[in-house]
Amino acid sequence: MQSLAILATPERYLFVPDDLRALLPHLSASAFKTLLSRAVQQGYLARVCRGLYLYQQATIPSGLLLFHAAARLRADGLNYISLETVLSDAGVISQVPINRVSVMSSGRSSVISCGRWGQIEFVHTRQQAKDLVGHLYYDGQRRLWRASVPQALRDMRATHRSMDLIDWGVANEFI
């Protein structure tokens, strides 16, 4: 825990088991699993979702945990914030998704439950990064690429999402 306290920062507070395993390479697999379980029971770590742990003593940026978790979980592919999350932030839809973020992903579609923090919805896309140039920008605070409003609207159509909540008067300002 002392080593983890040194490593944890406001930028780095989510850990996968391999991160933690590197701190204790001498432990057997079963001893490491037991240690991880005890760290959760004693409140040092909190299990965000399968394979992702939060260091409890770290300062967590408000409202960003789900975005940071999505970035950690799918770090090996193309992922970008889109759909209702982008449209709500831009005021194109009036309803605000509470404790749920929508992320387009080159990986498979799935909804990841993150317990009390909410849910991450990964929606598969076949789009290539080269086709999205100019339609995405990097959101450093959320640590993910983010779709423009027109791209989020295209993603809504492509994924057959309900367009009923869209305020087209506002949406047309972005198109």
Give the chain's domains with CATH numbers. 2-55 (1.10.10), 65-174 (no CATH)
Band (106; pLDDT cuts 50, 70, 90): very high
pLDDT at 175 over 80: no
The percentage of the chain sitting over the pLDDT mark of 70, rounded to a whole number, equals 100
Joined together, the tokens standing for residue 70 give 């999505």
Per-residue pLDDT tens for 109-153? 999 999 999 999 999 999 999 999 999 999 999 999 999 999 999
The b-or-e profile of 96-115 (16+ CB within 10 A means b, else e) is ebeeebbbbbbbeeeebebe
pLDDT at 38 over 90: yes
Classify burial at 166, counting beta carbons within 10 Å of its beta carbon; exposed 0-12, middle 13-18, buried 19 or more: middle
Q: Would you list the DSSP string of 95-156?
A: PPPTTEEEEEESS--EEEE-GGG-EEEEEE----GGGGTTTEEEETTTTEEEE-HHHHHHHH
